[in-house]
Homo-oligomer: A and B are copies of this chain.
Amino acid sequence: MTTPAEFYETHRELLDKAIEAAGARDYWSAYPESPSKSIYGETAAADGEQAFKALLGKDFPVEVPGATTHVATERSPYGIELGIRYPKGEPGELIAAARAALPGWRAVGPHGRAGIAAEILRRINARIFEMAHAVQHTSGQAFVMAFQAGGAHAQDRALEAIAVALAESTRIPGTTTWSKPQRGGDPLRLEKTSTVVGRGVSLMIGCNTFPTWNGYPGLFASLVTGNPVIVKPHPGAVLPLAITVQIAREVLAEAGQDPNVVTLAVEEPGESIAATLATHRDVRIVDFTGSSEFGNWLEANARQAVVYTEKAGLNTVIVDSTDDYKAMLRNLAFSLSLYSGQMCTTPQNLLVPAGGIETDAGHRSPDEFAADLGAAVGKLLGDPKRAAGTLGAIVNDGVLARLAEAGSLPSVVHASTEVADEQFPGATIRTPLIARLDAADEKAYTREWFGPISFVITTESTEHSLRLFTETVRDHGALTASVYSTSDEVLAAAREAALDAGVHLSQNLLGGVFVNQTAAFSDLHGTAANPAATASLSDSAFVTGRFFTLQSRHHLSEQSHA
């Protein structure tokens, strides 16, 4: 056994650094994003692949309270057979087990809980290659992206949440002495104790595309602030979170804690256990990433809980002018292509003034810009092998159906095509579709088309673009926005418009940074200031609603006066 305090001591330096980095918000990362042998070891890649393959077609080894049956619901976007069966418990039993684990978890205190959380992360990182395969074959992310976004970056986001949660839950000291001077007498003296108490049972509802990256912040923030967590993965992406739960329970048991502090909740498709769990009176925190439809439903119906959602919106690019047209097109083409646009951060609406844009390569009309962007996508994805590595695979049939629907739009300027994968002949891979629209076509572009579908939209002017941007994002939300302009006035107006719209803004991205990527410990993800999300990963507001500080006080006796 290792006590929680010992785990804290083991990871104290890392946690201190993480708290410092989350405050400084310059560049910092704890988990290397390169799948290199020099970092992870000679055999790590082969071992991880073998560990992943050993899981296929079997009962997944994790204990679930009250489970009597197993379910297998996953399908690899790369076409391989998975057939992993997960034990399935009833919602009532999962909640009862979590409630039973609550008092013990409260007694551990913030530091011990952060120590255990950091140890869980250490072991997740040690299995990063296995995790990358798990993420690849559930989300459809290409392997290197799965390693980075689903592995190292998800771990960084988790550590960031742990750091913010530990910092916020320890701002009020555990014990203080209060001594109030009295005129002509001894001071009034009290000893006061503050205890962090979790809000209650926490539910994390995972998504299909980024099960770890989007799921970890809520999971770890709830854990550190004293809440047992029921992890409910998307039926299409169970494995990455099942591995996570397995590791968490292993560490909890080693620390002498009830492993039911973290449990796995799986279901057959259509059982809607997320809704059942989220509206249960004893579930007090809900974290959700996924569709606006279900996210809005949760916000309206899970009234007994605080609900942190990350949904969808109209990610917008305002194109005004540029002094590096080629670099702009390359940057945008990559943003549209990465993981086939299946990121909640992929740009959908590109606003271009009818009068065209000024560039270092001359004036471009909206049609010319759309054609150039299509060509840039074509060039980026010209080599099938490189294309497959950028695009990944299509996560599910919903995306394919939207792609077919978009294909019937009147003005497609870059059609989506199939790409073959050498390694996985059964993979479903598609290039991005780009269509032309007008500002008047708001019925089409004020809807979110999740997947590799984007629109070049003609506006009256850049001023009109900015107004359209603010209005549509205010009404429908967005997780990202970017602007291209050589004019300081336009950039200033865009910053003000982004503040009004309530969205983060990237300006003139031309190099190796893309609007759809955010870095833990520096960029916040989501703002909570527009309808696309009620949470921001990971600011103070993301953690402070998860716990209460309860005080007790008593007179200080004279003997402890010294």
Question: Which A residues are closer than 8 A to B by beta carbons?
Answer: 23-27, 34, 103, 106, 168, 171-173, 176-180, 182-183, 188, 190, 192-195, 197, 199, 495, 498-500, 502-513, 519, 522-524, 527-529, 536, 539-541, 544-545, 548-555
Contacts and interface: CB of A to CB of B under 8 A. Distances in A.
B27 A180 contact: yes
Contact of A524 (B511, B524, B551): B551
Copies of this chain, whole number: 2
Nearest to A494: B552
A347 to B, nearest CB: 15
A12 B508 CA distance: 37
B502 A197 contact: yes
A513 B555 contact: yes
A540 B168 contact: yes
Given A506-B554, A529-B550, A513 B192 contact: no
Contacts of A527: 548-550
A506 to B, nearest CB: 6
Given A197-B502, A554-B508, A522 B178 contact: yes
Contacts of A550: 498-499, 502-505, 527, 529
The 5 closest A-B CB pairs, nearest first, are A507-B554, A541-B544, A529-B548, A505-B552, A540-B544
Contacts of A512: 182, 188
Contacts of A188: 511-513
30 contacts: A23-B171, A24-B176, A25-B173, A26-B176, A26-B178, A26-B179, A27-B178, A27-B179, A103-B500, A106-B499, A172-B524, A178-B522, A188-B512, A188-B513, A192-B523, A193-B495, A197-B502, A502-B548, A504-B553, A505-B550, A506-B554, A507-B553, A508-B555, A509-B554, A510-B555, A513-B553, A513-B555, A536-B548, A539-B544, A541-B548
A492 to B, nearest CB: 10
Given A26-B176, A541-B545, A511 B551 contact: no
A559 to B, nearest CB: 15
Contacts of A34: 183
A176 B549 contact: no
A190 B513 contact: yes
A385 B130 CA distance: 79
A511 B182 CA distance: 12
A25 B548 contact: no
Nearest to A168: B540
Contact of A540 (B171, B178, B199, B508): B171
Given A194-B524, A495-B552, A528-B548, 4 more contacts: A106-B499, A503-B550, A504-B551, A506-B554
Contacts of A522: 176, 178, 192
A308 to B, nearest CB: 12
A176 B524 CA distance: 13
B539 A524 contact: no
A451 B193 CA distance: 30
A509 B188 CA distance: 11
Nearest to A481: B552
Contacts of A502: 197, 548, 550
Contacts of A171: 23, 540
A365 to B, nearest CB: 26
Contacts of A553: 504-507, 513, 523
Nearest to A185: B512
Contacts of A551: 504-505, 523-524
Given A25-B173, A26-B177, A545 B548 contact: no
Contacts of A192: 25, 522-523
Contact of A180 (B168, B183, B519): B519
A431 B176 CA distance: 36
A167 to B, nearest CB: 9
Contacts of A26: 176-179
Nearest to A500: B103
Contacts of A182: 512
A125 B545 CA distance: 33
A177 B190 CA distance: 45
A169 to B, nearest CB: 9
A27 to B, nearest CB: 5
Nearest to A299: B303
A131 B173 CA distance: 34
A199 B527 CA distance: 11
Given A27-B178, A519-B180, A544-B541, A552 B498 contact: yes
A549 B524 contact: yes
Contacts of A548: 502, 527-529, 536, 541
A40 to B, nearest CB: 16
Contacts of A549: 524, 527, 536, 539
Contacts of A495: 193, 552
A513 B178 CA distance: 11
A26 B524 CA distance: 34
Contacts of A173: 23-25
A507 B552 contact: yes
A131 B251 CA distance: 58
Contacts of A536: 548-549
Nearest to A187: B27
A514 B231 CA distance: 44
